Amino acid sequence: MKLALLGESYPAQLRENPQALRDVEVVWSGTSLGAFREEVPAKRPDVLALDFLELNGVETGVVPTLMEGSGARHAIVTYRFARRGVLQQYPAGKVRLLQGPISLSLLRAHVHLAVLDAMLQPVPAKAAVAQAAPVAGAAGPALQLGAAGSGTLATVTVPATPRAPLYSPEKLGKLLEVSSAVQCECPNHLSQLVSSLQAFEEYSKHCENRNEEDRQVHALLYKYTAAARAVMEEALTALVKHENIQL
């Protein structure tokens, strides 16, 4: 089975944990969409693994075009955040949607599942809804801002200018795959958390605002998330030092 990977963290993950995809032939891995379009079709992969931070900004036709151009029969698309309406635009049976980032071991499992699902349960060509991984907490209670019924926004003490991220997608990808000296996967889980916080921080900056109150709420979410991301980066840095992980 041939697999092509496109994403900011995949090359680093492969370097750190090449055995995770032991029974899958990785024919291409990179971060450039342009290079993917140019080089991958000649590799003739069976499955594409495509990682997008924000799926809302990706034109719906991009994934089918990449599949058609490369001859791939399946695509596994990972994302951090996306509107439900966007997820419903992808064809079931050919595209698996997963909230990322994910480890290579989990990716391997979904590569096999994608092929197996297609073999056992053929999906009609006109099916319109993609298989999407459930999002934890999606049906939870709404965020309450300010006193109940007051209509006022809560205030939070955070830096006026959020600190730039300490960890690049490449470093987070390595931490996602790194093995600890003991039975502990904290580096893997914490790198996932930091990656998700980075993505939501960026996502909240571009949310649509109907009015000034919407703008204030989104600004508040952005500040909270930036502060949380900075704190968790400090925790990750302490863990990296403790585990003596070389980045």
* The pLDDT of residue 129: 38
Please state, in angstroms and rounded to a whole number, the distance separating the CA atoms of residues 134 and 12: 27
Structure tokens at 160: 């006026």
The answer to whether residues 193 and 121 belong to one domain is: no
3-state SS assignment for residue 34: helix
The answer to whether residues 102 and 189 belong to one domain is: no
* The pLDDT of residue 153: 43
The answer to whether residues 10 and 82 belong to one domain is: yes
* The pLDDT of residue 81: 82
Of 132, 158, 192, the residue that ends a domain is: 132
The answer to whether residues 119 and 180 belong to one domain is: no
CATH code where residue 15 lies: 3.40.50.2300
- For 191, the domain range is 169-243
* The pLDDT of residue 5: 97
Q: Does 150 reside within a domain?
A: no
The answer to whether residues 66 and 182 belong to one domain is: no
Please state, in angstroms and rounded to a whole number, the distance separating the CA atoms of residues 190 and 222: 20
The answer to whether residues 93 and 191 belong to one domain is: no
Q: Does 45 reside within a domain?
A: yes
Q: Does 9 reside within a domain?
A: yes
Burial level of 217, CB count in 10 A (0-12/13-18/19+)?
middle
The answer to whether residues 215 and 103 belong to one domain is: no
Backbone angles phi, psi at 25, to 5 degrees: -90, 110
Please state, in angstroms and rounded to a whole number, the distance separating the CA atoms of residues 4 and 188: 23
The answer to whether residues 96 and 173 belong to one domain is: no
> How many domains does the structure of the chain reveal?
2
The answer to whether residues 122 and 214 belong to one domain is: no
Q: Does 152 reside within a domain?
A: no
* The pLDDT of residue 192: 86
Burial level of 87, CB count in 10 A (0-12/13-18/19+)?
buried
* The pLDDT of residue 160: 62
Q: Does 149 reside within a domain?
A: no
Q: Which residue has the tokens 């996967």?
A: 185
Burial level of 57, CB count in 10 A (0-12/13-18/19+)?
exposed
Q: Does 16 reside within a domain?
A: yes
Of 77, 107, 132, the residue that ends a domain is: 132
* The pLDDT of residue 145: 37
The answer to whether residues 120 and 177 belong to one domain is: no
* The pLDDT of residue 117: 67
Of 112, 132, 152, the residue that ends a domain is: 132
Q: Does 159 reside within a domain?
A: no
The answer to whether residues 24 and 93 belong to one domain is: yes
Q: What is the layout of strands, in order, in the sheet containing 74-81?
A: 25-30, 2-6, 47-54, 74-81, 95-99, 131-132
Q: Does 138 reside within a domain?
A: no
Q: pLDDT tens, 196-242?
A: 888 888 888 878 788 888 888 888 888 888 888 888 899 899 988 88
Q: pLDDT tens, 137-149?
A: 333 333 333 433 4
The answer to whether residues 176 and 127 belong to one domain is: no
Ranges under pLDDT 50 in the chain: 122-156
